[in-house]
Chain A
Amino acid sequence: MTNDNDIADKENEALEHNRSARLDVLSKHLIDSLQPRRPYYAAVTRFSISIAVCAVYLLLLNLFMPMRTSMINEDMFQVDIVLSWGIGISALYAALALMVPCDTKEAVKRIILPSVLAVVFLAWTFLRTYNDLAHEHNYMMMYSFKHCFWDGLIFIIAPMVLFIEFARRGASTAPTLLHIMIVLSVSGFGWGCLRFSCANDEPAHVFIFHFMPFVATGGLSVFFSRFLFRSI
């Protein structure tokens, strides 16, 4: 019994000592350095703040940039707005959930709706642009209103700064997905606003001057997502 006990003691002590020593020191340090900290805002709170900020920002911009609010009665326009702001809102909700550590299953569940809406939007935009370019296209119209990209930047600047700030305060375990969702959300919001502000309804113009700059800028920035949002 004593012999067995000794062997077991030595065997276990040697194993456990090596494995636990470093972790014990770290645990002690972590416990000693613990301070009370204010919990990060819940996703619903951040969502409400974001929507409120976007709405107020849009109303303020309305004072300086005339919006074509009467267009809301047109069917095609309604589809554009529902799709783009639908993407904006659902991607925002997904991004807010991805700003804190969450498992893969939950992350996938969150991104389904914005992804489906984005695919529908792409198909809708491509189809209209193709039809427009193939028939009855007025190329002069397409190149007019080239200031749209800069207007678009003005529309997205406040939401973008807010979303990035929320993301940097969080701790994402899916920084690339989070970045894609923020790009989708900001682009959806900006694209919808541009439809209100720009008087050119040519599908080719809308595709090239409203859509492509967002896609190109957002797509390129995704490569830097690990540096931008990696706060964990």
Chain B
Amino acid sequence: MIGEEQKAFYKNWNTLAAAAQAGDKRAYSTLIEQLIPFARSVLAGKLAELDWIDDVVQDALISAHKALPTYQVGRSFKAWFTAILYYRKTDYLRKVYARKNHQTSSFDELIEKNMDPDVTIPTHIAEYDHVEKLLEQIPQKQRDLFILARIEGYTAKEVANMKNMSESAVKVSVHRTSKKLKELLS
């Protein structure tokens, strides 16, 4: 999704949010369905563990639900929700660090915990650039599916709906692209 299509996609959130304020459950359901992958993709590069991302998304959805009347119809819902998301992220990290203040982890424990490969570590930036370049070698259609499912965080079902494909075809394509990338990297 790029350019105009993306703008229209986010603009539709304004309409859905206004309808949700009026009590339209269908509109609210659609909105939440679209907000979850968006929130995950926003947080993906900013939090170290996938569990944390889901915790923050949960908190943000609850906060957005409570604060829904404060959304001003006609203004950007994306900006409104993103502000809540960042606020919740900061709040969550504050609690995590306060909890972990007196705990220590050994290097072995960190490896065992299998650190999230999505997090950008400054010293690994060159490697991420390399992966991005390799992605350019994958055909456009497969690349788009891979980006939506693995980078932007949409589920296979959501990608299938967006692209008018079967869910299974999406999964196979994403799997093959992963395999191909692994081969290219090795």
A20 touches B155 (CB 8 A): yes
Inter-chain contact B28/A31, CB cutoff 8 Å: yes
Q: Please report the C-alpha to C-alpha distance between residue A101 and residue B32 in the assembled complex, in whole angstroms.
A: 18
A23-B57, A34-B20 known; A39 vs B176 contact (CB < 8 Å): no
Write out the residue numbers on chain A whose beta carbons fall within 8 Å of the beta carbon of B68: 37
Partner of B65, one of A11, A22, A30: A30
| A106 CA / B76 CA spacing, docked (Å) | 12
Evaluate contact between B50 and A232: CB separation under 8 angstroms.
Answer: no
Tell which of A5, A19, A35 touches B171, judged by Cβ atoms closer than 8 Å.
A5
Closest to A43 in B: B72
Flag whether B6 is at the interface (Cβ < 8 A). Answer: no
Tell which of B32, B83, B155, B176 touches A31, judged by Cβ atoms closer than 8 Å.
B32
Contact A171 B54 (CB under 8 A): no
Binary B-proximity of A144-162 (CB < 8 A = 1, otherwise 0): 0000000000000000000
**B95 on interface, CB distance cutoff 8 Å:** no
Is there a chain A Cβ closer than 8 Å to B67's Cβ? yes
| Candidate in B23, B67, B80 with the most chain A CB atoms within 10 angstroms | B67
State whether B65 touches A39 (Cβ < 8 A). no
With beta carbons under 8 angstroms apart, the residue of B32, B33, B66, B156 that contacts A12 is B156
| Docked CA distance A43–B72 (Å) | 9
What chain A residues lie within 8 Å of B174 (beta carbons)?
A: 8, 12
A35 and B72 contacting across the interface, CB-CB below 8 Å = no
- Give residues of chain A (4-45) contacting chain B, Cβ–Cβ below 8 Å: 4-5, 7-9, 11-12, 16, 19-20, 22-23, 26-27, 30-40, 42-43
Q: Which residues of A contact B71 (CB under 8 A)?
A: 39, 100
List chain A residues, Cβ under 8 A from B155: 16, 20
| Chain A residues positioned under 8 Å from B61 (CB to CB) | 23, 26-27, 30
B70 touches A (CB below 8 Å): yes
A16 CA / B168 CA spacing, docked (Å): 14
A146 to B34 alpha-carbon distance, docked (Å): 61
Also in contact, A35 and B23, with CB within 8 A (given A5-B168, A40-B70, A171-B67)? yes
Alpha-carbon gap, A23 to B86, bound state (A): 18
On whether the beta carbons of B172 and A171 are closer than 8 Å, the reply is: no
**Contact partners of B69 in chain A: CB under 8 A:** 37-40
| 7 smallest beta-carbon distances between A and B, as pairs | A36-B23, A8-B175, A171-B67, A173-B87, A101-B83, A100-B70, A8-B171
Q: With A16-B156, A40-B72 given, can you name 13 additional A-B contacts, CB distance below 8 Å? A: A4-B172, A5-B171, A5-B172, A9-B171, A12-B174, A12-B175, A19-B54, A23-B54, A30-B62, A37-B21, A101-B67, A101-B87, A106-B79
A-B contact pairs, 28 of them (CB 8 A): A1-B172, A4-B172, A4-B175, A5-B171, A8-B172, A19-B54, A20-B155, A22-B58, A23-B36, A23-B57, A26-B62, A27-B32, A27-B61, A30-B62, A31-B28, A35-B23, A36-B21, A36-B23, A37-B21, A37-B68, A100-B70, A101-B87, A103-B86, A171-B66, A173-B84, A174-B87, A231-B66, A232-B66
Residues on B facing A (Cβ under 8 Å): 20-23, 25, 28-29, 32-33, 36, 50, 54, 57-58, 61-63, 65-73, 79-84, 86-87, 155-156, 168, 171-172, 174-176
